[in-house]
Amino acid sequence: MEAAIRARGLTKRFGSRSALEDVTFEVSVGEVFGFLGPNGAGKTTTVRVLSTLVRPTAGTAEVAGVPVSEGTGAELRSRIAVMTETPGLYLRLTVFDNLEYFAGLYGIASRETRTRILAALDSVGMAGRHGDRAGALSKGLRQRVSLARALLPDPRVLFLDEPTSGLDPVATREVRELIDGLRDRGVTVFLTTHRLEEAERLCDRIAILNTTLRIIGAPDDLRRQLFSSALEVQTAAPLADPDSFFGGVNGTDGWKPVGDASYRVNVRDPAAVAPELARAIVESGAGLVRLSEATHSLEDVYLQLVSDDVEVAR
């Protein structure tokens, strides 16, 4: 598949501090790509490098078909849009004036400007607010205007830095629907967020960064890579000898208690082992209360990786 973003060995050092180290990844055209990591992990630096705001110390990158380099900055930036974490609006100007300024900077023809501005505002639920002074808007509304500004140039690649930060639940849902709509239109979205459930819901693939790229893949693949399959079992009374009980069931690979009369049993194939395990529990007379496949959220994946880093740092 054609790549909208291609980064190879991207490294950025500020003095002696390393913000990014040897980061390599690709994002396909039309993909919604999540970029996760703790504060200071290098997410914003990556976006800045890819949008030609800062120069990489080493490595190469290409965005929307344009190599990231000193001479191609204007060309590359005309194909992308970046929604920064803070809305960054001119508070003394109206919403329309703000967007009109950016339309001019993107070189949008003046005869199209008004239509494009009103359409962008409409898509973020701000139709009819174009005459409001930006300084009079709430944080959430400013965030929406900032998103409308990013949509204005109809970019091929859209970088969104915490797009739902400060939004109420209704506005958050609208923004998520908007991102889904962008995916349908073939726009590549590079999303940095702290909201793991948002990344899991929206993103085709996810990368977790902590100066170096820790892992990359679809949420399900990440879970499979990090966690072994397991079944969760709850019985009416604690098992007398869980070691020999679970060891006697074919396909199990160890167990651990997760509460009173509750156990997590590692298995190679949950679908094959579950019926046999259920039968064994019933036959033992322990009383089967619950048997289900253990699930791991993206948060589990994230915490597993980031806490590994914290351990290493200690």
Partner 1 sequence: MSGRIRTVLRKELREFRRNKLVVGTMVILPLFFIAIPVASVLAVNAETAPNAIKGAVGSALLGFFLVPLILPTVIAGYGVVGEREQGTLEPVLTTPVRREELLIGKALAAIVPSASMAYALFVLFLIVVQLFAAREVVSLVMEPAQMVAIVLFTPLLATFSIWVGLAISARSSDIRVAQQLSGLAMLPMVGVLWLFAFRVIAPTVTVAVTGAVLLAVLDLGAWRIVSALFDRERLLTRYGGP
- Backbone φ, ψ for residue 117 (5° rounding): -65, -45
Burial letters 125-151, b for 16+ CB under 10 A, else e: bbeebbeeebeebeebbbbbbbbbbbb
Q: Whose Cβ is closer to partner 1: residue 92's or residue 173's?
A: 92
Numbers of helices and strands, H then E, in the chain: 11, 14
As measured in angstroms, the least distance from the Cβ of 127 to partner 1 is 22
- Pick the stretch among 104-112, 230-238, 252-260, 276-284 that binds partner 1 (CB under 8 A): 104-112
Is 276 in contact with 179 (CB distance < 8 Å)?
no
Site map for partner 1, 14-53, x if CB under 8 A?
Answer: xx--------------------------------x--xxx
Tokens of 122: 């409409």
77 binds partner 1 (CB under 8 A): yes
As measured in angstroms, the least distance from the Cβ of 89 to partner 1 is 7
Q: Whose Cβ is closer to partner 1: residue 51's or residue 193's?
A: 51
- H or E, element range at 292: strand 288-293
107 binds partner 1 (CB under 8 A): yes
Tokens of 92: 């003394």
Restricted to residues 216-255, the positions that interact with partner 1 (CB under 8 A) are none
Rounded CA gap, 115 and 84, in Å?
Answer: 24
Q: Whose Cβ is closer to partner 1: residue 25's or residue 102's?
A: 102
Q: Whose Cβ is closer to partner 1: residue 144's or residue 149's?
A: 149
Applying CB under 8 A, the site for partner 1 has a residue count of 34
Q: Is the dihedral of CA 283, 285, 289, 295 positive or negative?
A: negative
Edge-to-edge strands, sheet with 80-83: 80-83, 157-161, 188-192, 32-36, 205-210, 212-217
58 binds partner 1 (CB under 8 A): no
Of 3, 29, 54, 291, the one binding partner 1 by CB under 8 A: 54
Rounded CA gap, 123 and 175, in Å?
Answer: 9
Rounded CA gap, 26 and 137, in Å?
Answer: 38
Q: How far is CA 45 from CA 13, 193, 257, in A?
A: 10, 14, 43
Site map for partner 1, 149-188, x if CB under 8 A?
Answer: x---------------------------------------
Of 46, 146, 193, 266, the one binding partner 1 by CB under 8 A: 146
> What radius of gyration do the chain's Cα atoms show?
25
Site map for partner 1, 78-97, x if CB under 8 A?
Answer: x-xxx-x-xxxxxxxx---x
Strands 212-217 and 205-210: what pairing?
Answer: antiparallel
As measured in angstroms, the least distance from the Cβ of 234 to partner 1 is 51
Of 55, 173, 256, 279, the one binding partner 1 by CB under 8 A: 55
As measured in angstroms, the least distance from the Cβ of 42 to partner 1 is 13
- Pick the stretch among 72-80, 167-175, 186-194, 289-297 that binds partner 1 (CB under 8 A): 72-80
193 binds partner 1 (CB under 8 A): no
Positions touching partner 1 (CB under 8 A) are 14-15, 48, 51-55, 73-75, 77-78, 80-82, 84, 86-93, 97, 101-102, 104-107, 146, 149
